[in-house]
Amino acid sequence: MKQYKPLIDDWQAFKHACKRPALSTVRKNSIRAGKNFEERLKERFDEVEQSGWNSEVFRLNGEKTPGKSMMHWLGEYYVQEESASLPVQALNPEKDERILDMCAAPGGKTTQIASKIENNGEIAANDKSSQRLKSLHANIYRTGSASVSVTNYDGRRIPEDRKYDRILLDAPCTGEGDRARRKFEPADQYEKEDLSKLQKQLGEKAETLLKEGGKMVYSTCTINPQENEEVVEYLLENTGLQLEKIEMNPDHKKGVKSFEGNQYGQEMNKTVRIYPHHFESGVIYVAKFRK
């Protein structure tokens, strides 16, 4: 990971945060959450703290098994890293829209979209892996996300007969955020190159599926710029997409303009990088586009 030191705002804080487990956090599901949700959450768990930037997310300090409670099984909340809620917050879906989640399984962000629009809209949740669709279906059912339909396409082959108001491309990636906590090693260069190519292809496809004026969010849970800023720069140069600034204020670092001799441009400061030391959560990179 040391090669990424120039990308990280506080290297020592980053290293120390990677040695600690991420905080347990849950996201309120507005579809199923009953009355007095927060009060009942505090009765069930000892230390509950609401996120400072996403009112739907609650930190359960010291809790290790939030997935075993009845509130979870009833779909009142979804166990999700605080940082992982950022892409849908940036997408900002609205009621009565047609929305596509291109790489949806296991469904954390799909069900977050359904919760935000309170099932008033149309959500297509796609995933290439038929095996991973099992968890996607299970989470849709548990959370009561009736506005969601599921498809099983390679994201690059999704039919173009329907256009979408908003698209989430939470792309397959090398997952260096998780690697940082497990063994503090970067991904293999060949893996980064292969996935960067796939991410660019998925981004190009997303642009063809997006309505004029529509919004798209691209996100990964990895650190290297090949899968982040390089993909964004490629899409700016090769599609009709334009970057928009992400208007929210969790602690973060702006996207990088250059790394190891590669230039990505001034607009990368409109994108967001989240590291574990920012609020004891996972790595996430987020960029927002408009067609």
Residue 184 banded pLDDT, cuts 50, 70, 90: confident
**Residue 221 is a catalytic residue:** yes
Mean per-residue pLDDT for 5-17? 93
Ramachandran category for residue 272: left, alpha or beta (phi over 0 → left; psi -120 to 50 → alpha)? beta
Q: What is the DSSP letter of 23?
A: P
Residue 32 banded pLDDT, cuts 50, 70, 90: very high
State residue 288's pLDDT score.
99
Q: Are residues 198 and 259 in the same domain?
A: yes
State residue 64's pLDDT score.
82
What DSSP element (H or E) covers 259? strand 258-259
Torsion 176-182-185-188 (CA) sign: negative
Give the active site residue among 18, 103, 173, 221.
Answer: 221
Q: Are residues 18 and 31 in the same domain?
A: no
Ramachandran category for residue 85: left, alpha or beta (phi over 0 → left; psi -120 to 50 → alpha)? alpha
Residue 183 has pLDDT above 90, yes or no: no
CATH number assigned to the domain comprising residue 54: 3.30.70.1170
CATH number assigned to the domain comprising residue 117: 3.40.50.150
Global pTM value: 0.97
Residue 22 has pLDDT above 90, yes or no: no
Instruction: Name the domain boundary from 54, 80, 106.
Output: 80
What mean pLDDT is reported for the chain?
95
In this predicted structure, which of 56-60, 122-126, 179-183 has the lowest mean pLDDT? 179-183
Q: Are residues 181 and 44 in the same domain?
A: no
Instruction: Name the domain boundary from 36, 62, 80.
Output: 80
Q: Are residues 151 and 60 in the same domain?
A: no
Residues spanned by the domain of 60:
23-80
User: How deeply is 122 buried, as exposed, middle or buried, from its count of CB atoms within 10 A (0-12, 13-18, 19+)?
Assistant: middle
Ramachandran category for residue 213: left, alpha or beta (phi over 0 → left; psi -120 to 50 → alpha)? left
Residue 249 banded pLDDT, cuts 50, 70, 90: confident
Q: What tokens appear for 77 in the block?
A: 């909340």
Q: Are residues 12 and 67 in the same domain?
A: no
In this predicted structure, which of 39-48, 139-148, 220-229 has the lowest mean pLDDT? 39-48
Residue 290 banded pLDDT, cuts 50, 70, 90: very high
Mean per-residue pLDDT for 253-279? 94
Residue 90 near residue 284, CB atoms below 8 Å? no
Residue 160 near residue 137, CB atoms below 8 Å? no
Residue 128 near residue 153, CB atoms below 8 Å? yes
Distances (CA, A) of 32 to 50, 257, 278: 19, 42, 30
Beta-ladder partners of 49:
59
pLDDT digits (tens, 9 = 90+) for 98-147: 999 999 999 999 999 999 999 999 999 999 999 999 999 999 999 999 99
Tell me how far apart the alpha carbons of residues 145 and 126 are, in angstroms, rounded to a whole number: 15
In this predicted structure, which of 80-94, 176-190, 257-271 has the lowest mean pLDDT? 176-190
For residues 249 and 108, the model is more confident at 108
Residue 251 has pLDDT above 90, yes or no: no
